[in-house]
Amino acid sequence: MTLLALVRHGQTDWNAGRRIQGRTDVPLNNMGRAQALLAASALRDGGWERVASSTLCRAGETAEIIASALGLEPPVTHPGLVERDYGVAEGTAVADFRARYGSGALIPGAETNERLTARTLTALIDLVAQEPEVPTVVVAHGGVIHALLGHVSGGTLSQPGGRIENGSVTVFRMINAGLRLAADLENVGTECST
């Protein structure tokens, strides 16, 4: 069994402006750096031994801040943890995105939720295989965490339009390549603004 704390990266200017950023590589802003420190504080006594992240800079910087604050080695990156590819919707305002695609309409050029879930599960299995049973902080993205919550809960924790807050922490257990929500540690969160 391996504990995995999935942390959504800190805020970017696109998050603050309520824009879909997907794979667009937008850096953290000052609020995002503060949220990364809050996440590290929430994780401080959890016995975490390593940090991993998506290859996108907003996740990488969040992971570096957390690793430094926890006194851990620099984070490893995994391309399978990148955010969903939103195709033609990249850069659109969230309100416009919901108006156009909120009812489940297909987004031209976008990665499907099923593909996103399969890709991120494979990445987590790979990370655990590299260092089995090592409690790991994984810094990723709202779409990634949303998809994983939907997967482990049969869709009950992943509602359309639901928001995974920047800097929030959700803890999972991986047992024999199966992912489960750690109910006793669920959503060890940090207070943060949009």
- Catalytic residue numbers? 9, 83
Take residue 73 and report the two structure tokens written for it: 């080695």
Contacts of 103 (CB under 8 A, 6+ apart): none
Contacts made by residues 100-105, CB under 8 angstroms, sequence distance 24+: 102/160, 102/161, 104/160
Distances (CA, A) of 175 to 64, 133, 136: 27, 9, 14
Compute CA 189 distance to the chain's CA centroid, rounded to the nearest angstrom: 13
Up-side HSE of residue 46: CA atoms within 13 Å toward CB?
Answer: 32
Burial class (CB in 10 A: 0-12, 13-18, 19+), 193: exposed
Angle between helices 142-153 and 113-130 (to 10 degrees): 90
Distance CA 10, CA 159 (A): 22
Compute CA 23 distance to the chain's CA centroid, rounded to the nearest angstrom: 13
